[in-house]
Amino acid sequence: MSSTKPRPILVMKFGGTSVANVERIRNVAQHVKREVDAGYDVAVVVSAMSGKTNELVAWVKDAAPLYDAREYDAVVASGEQVTTGLLAICLQEIGLNARSWQGWQVPYETDDAHGSARIASIGGEGILKGFAERREVAVVAGFQGIHTPTGRITTLGRGGSDTSAVALAAGLKAERCDIYTDVDGVYTTDPRIVPKAHRLDKVAFEEMLEMASLGAKVLQVRSVELAMVHNVRTFVRSSFDNPAQPMPGTLICAEEEIMEQPVVTGIAYSKDEAQITLREVADKPGVAASVFAPLAEANIVVDMIVQNVSADGKTTDITFTVPSSDYARAVAVIEKNKDELGYTLLQSAQDVAKISAIGIGMRSHAGVAAKAFKALADRGINIRAITTSEIKFSVLIDVAYTELAVRTLHSLYGLDAA
Ligand code: ADP
Ligand code: ASP
Ligand code: MG
């Protein structure tokens, strides 16, 4: 018999370090039990054990440099199958009903963009039935989906279990989505490189979206998009806390919920950038279009763009950045169009990093970025390119100065912990 009043639903997600071995998985089971005892129906989304997905990716690349993306997904999705089964067993061991669900069983229906598929819809009827009939904890494989028309397994892109969790929380109408990781919340910057970083109690969706897209890998960008669109109450918290005394972590929420808004909320960095400069391009209308249209057609996202007068005073130099993973393709596209573009020299650099400052408070303050340019110059850090938008600005610098630049901006905007 199903119970009369439906219980509130909670989605809990545990990342790679949180399920790194059986002992850690037993610890996860204790966190889950706490929430079941508190009266929730729980769906737990798990990642593969830490390092596992990297190993699987390396095997695929070793097997063939130009591999079949569908088989890549078949291989890399396997890490999550292991941890779902192990967690279900550990939950059963402490007296809970539990079963594993692979992506195709839930199902997570996605498009066929193998390696970075997007979720189109989520089933979840079986999970709800398990809640109602058996109070059964659902242990769901993160990262995995299925493209139903072809029946093939897909994966959601690296870090995709965050997205699996938030999407499930939206689909099951969960009260909350708790993302457990190896830090106790979202920090003002990556605590691994700035020990003075401090934890934020709340971060606005827009800020988290920028931080994630600009390099803060604590949440996958798409998970933040989904949380924002579906208004999912999402917390980032630590699985290393004592399961009996959990800490609240960081709430990702609407801007209105945050009382005190500093000008800069956080600093992010990304080393996954490459810079390309085309020297002495003819300075005439349409030239930028002829450079960037073929890149767009090749699905290459161009980020920072700088155009300035060449040394000869007659032509123009165009500098832009692309993701490192697209660097070789971008160069090939440009070289293919060399005759039309008419540049004299293509220069490139891969040893660059993008440092960004993010904050909703920037909307109402002038001169925020100017302050940073001066502070970086005072430390002898050369800026290669700049972009700004309403709530962030980014500078491109030599990769060797990444940590110094992040620390400099972190102090400059008063973010260092006392
Ligand atoms: P998981 O395996 O749990 O998904 P990730 O490694 O994907 O964990 O994300 C957690 C890591 O994100 C942290 O260990 C931390 O080094 C890094 N990180 C980067 N920027 C931030 C930030 N602003 N706040 C917290 N963690 C951050
Ligand atoms: N295991 C996958 C990865 O390493 C998904 C995740 O951890 O979120 O990218
Ligand atoms: Mg992650």
Question: Boundaries of CATH 3.30.2130.10 in the chain?
Answer: 267-412
Residue 359 near ligand 2, beta carbon < 6 Å: no
User: CA–CA separation, 175 vs 381, rounded Å?
Assistant: 46
List phi, psi (to 5°) of 195.
-60, -25
Q: Cα 119–225–132 angle (5° rounding)?
A: 60
- Residue 1 pLDDT exceeds 60: no
In this prediction, residues 396-406 reach a mean pLDDT of: 97
Nearest atom within ligand 2 for CA of residue 220 = 8
Hey, what CATH class is 9-256 in? alpha beta
Does CATH place domain 267-412 in 3.30.2130.10? yes
Strand order in the sheet with 144-147: 119-122, 108-110, 144-147, 152-155
In the Cβ-directed half-sphere of 163, how many Cα atoms lie within 13 Å? 28
Residue 103 near ligand 2, beta carbon < 6 Å: no
Asked if 39 and 69 count as a contact pair (C-beta separation under 8 A), the reply is no
Long-range contacts formed by 205-209: CB under 8 A, 24+ apart: 205/252, 205/253, 205/254, 205/255, 206/255, 206/360, 206/391, 207/265, 207/266, 207/358, 207/359, 207/360, 207/391, 208/252
Residue 187 near ligand 1, beta carbon < 6 Å: yes
pLDDT digits (tens, 9 = 90+) for 242-272: 999 999 899 999 999 998 889 999 999 999 9
Q: Kindly report which listed range (2-11, 140-149, 190-199, 247-256) carries the lowest average pLDDT score.
A: 2-11
Return the ligand number nearest the Cα of 13: 1
- Residue 203 pLDDT exceeds 90: yes
| Residue 160 CA to ligand 1 centre (angstroms) | 13
User: CA–CA separation, 51 vs 74, rounded Å?
Assistant: 17
Question: Boundaries of CATH 3.40.1160.10 in the chain?
Answer: 9-256
Residue 271 near ligand 1, beta carbon < 6 Å: no
pLDDT digits (tens, 9 = 90+) for 281-334: 988 888 889 999 999 999 999 999 999 888 888 899 999 999 999 999 999 999
Nearest atom within ligand 1 for CA of residue 239 = 3
Nearest atom within ligand 1 for CA of residue 266 = 23
- Residue 3 pLDDT exceeds 60: no
Task: Indicate the pLDDT class of residue 22, thresholds 50, 70 and 90.
Answer: very high
Asked if 264 and 207 count as a contact pair (C-beta separation under 8 A), the reply is no
In this structure, the dihedral spanned by the alpha carbons of residues 46, 52, 53 and 57, taken in order and rounded to 10 degrees, is -160
**Which residues, 6 or more positions from 320, have their beta carbon under 8 angstroms from its beta carbon?**
275, 276, 291, 292, 302, 303, 304, 305, 306, 385
Nearest atom within ligand 1 for CA of residue 189 = 23
User: CA–CA separation, 46 vs 117, rounded Å?
Assistant: 18
Q: Over the chain, what is the mean pLDDT?
A: 95
Asked if 277 and 365 count as a contact pair (C-beta separation under 8 A), the reply is no
Query: Measuring from atom 21 of ligand 1, which residue has the nearest CA?
Result: 190
Question: Minimal CA–CA distance to 50: which of 88, 90, 10, 18?
Answer: 18
| Residue 299 CA to ligand 3 centre (angstroms) | 25
Give the distance, in angstroms, between the CA of residue 288 and the centroid of all CA atoms in the same chain.
Answer: 30
Residue 21, SS3 per DSSP: coil
Residue 160 near ligand 2, beta carbon < 6 Å: yes
Asked if 395 and 273 count as a contact pair (C-beta separation under 8 A), the reply is no
